[in-house]
Every structure is written in C-alpha cells, then in structure tokens.
Chain A
Amino acid sequence: GIQVEQSPPDLILQEGANSTLRCNFSDSVNNLQWFHQNPWGQLINLFYIPSGTKQNGRLSATTVATERYSLLYISSSQTTDSGVYFCAVESIYYGNNRLAFGKGNQVVVIP
C-alpha cells in the first residue's frame, strides 16, 4: 500500500515560534487531510488539501501532489497547538475509502 512518512516525529517549540511539519507519500493521491489530535484523543480536521494551498488563521497547508508531499505551517504557536498532527492520504490505486495515516508529528509548545 501507499507509504506515508511524517517529519519531524517530535518537535518542541517556544510559544510564538513558527514551525513546518512535512508529510511525504509514495504514490499519487486523490485525497489528503491534516488532523490535530487533541489531548482527549479526538482528531480534529484542519485541512482537506489534495493539492494547492489553504489557510485557516495561524495555520496553513500546501500540497504539491506532483512531488508527493504536503506541508503544514504553524505560525505564532500557542500552547493550545500542542498535540499530535496526522497526515492521511488516499492513493488513486488502492481503492476508495482506504486512507493511510502517517505516524504523526508530536508537537509540544512551551510557554
């Protein structure tokens, strides 16, 4: 199946700092999402972004589908940004409804 690699696996940030999380995938995709898992375990949708660039407040994301990667930018980080960020992709080859998740980026924002 499709391989999804997220980097860096762990990141510690000072409040107010900016950061970039990366998601690499091994095949062409027709679906890519970024999620934030909060401390209680729920996955919150951040972006649905199979291609292009989107922004939502301090967060933005870019997917370059032809080069098989996506980036999630966090600007002016806050302690509430702490948690695990997941990238999930769906290959055009492996059938619908079979999203593959990366292992996540564990982010800790310290005050």
Chain B
Amino acid sequence: DVKVTQSSRYLVKRTGEKVFLECVQDMDHENMFWYRQDPGLGLRLIYFSYDVKMKEKGDIPEGYSVSREKKERFSLILESASTNQTSMYLCASRGGGGTGELFFGEGSRLTVL
C-alpha cells in the first residue's frame, strides 16, 4: 500500500513565524502535491513537484514556497505565517506519466495565532 506521511497532525504557530510542513512518500512517486482545504472553498492546489528540485505553482502559491531535495520528500514552507494561513494542509503523491491515482496523507491542521 502507498504510504504518504505528514510530519505533524496539529500545529499552533504565531504570526510571523516560519513554518515547515513535511511530507514523505514511500512509493517512489515522481509527483507530489500540497493542497489546502478550507470550509466552503474545498481543496485548492498550492504547489506541486514533478521531479527532484522541480516545482510548479498551483492555484494559490502566494505566501508559500516548497522544497524537494529528495524524491520521497516534499516540504511546504510558510516564510512568515499569517492568520489567513490557518487551514488544513494535505499532501499527496502519485506516479509518473501525469495520470494515475492520487494518494493523500493524513493532513496537517495548522492554526496561526
């Protein structure tokens, strides 16, 4: 079974702090994704990566950056957290070819005070 693991289930941070959300997958997938989920807005794509050190902006990249130094790991970085970044963050991965099944991690619920 595919396993996508997110480092923290719940985080509480203060405005202005730098926040790292880590995601690791164990299926040698080329593609990895970060989404955020908010009530009434559904899931929105922040960034995705299709290979090591390669990334593309999703629909809402502002205020976020990402890092993919190793194939299995994809990090989401909030350089200076703000209260409007309080949300559920979901990491996902899938194999190459641009199609195929997407697998999600358990989610990280971030609260910025």
Partner of A45, one of B31, B40, B42, B101: B101
The complex places the Cα of A21 from the Cα of B92 at a distance, in Å, of: 24
The distance in angstroms between the C-alpha atoms of A90 and B99, with both chains bound, is 8
B83-113 toward A: CB 8 Å interface, digit per residue (1/0)? 0000010101000001111111111010000
Using Cβ atoms and an 8 Å threshold, which residues of chain B touch A96? 50, 98-99
Chain B residues touching A, range: 20 to 34
The A-B contact count (CB < 8 A) is 53
User: How far apart are the CA atoms of A99 and B31 in the complex, in Å?
Assistant: 12
Interface of B (DSSP majority class): strand
Check A99–B45 contact: CB distance below 8 A. yes
Q: Chain A, interface size: which category?
A: 20 to 34
B42 touches A98 (CB 8 A): no
B42–A101 touching, CB < 8 Å: yes
| Contact A33/B101 with A43-B90, A99-B45, A104-B42 known, Cβ cut-off 8 Å | yes
Residues of A within 8 A of B (CB): 30-31, 33, 35, 40-45, 48, 50, 86, 88, 90, 96-99, 101-104
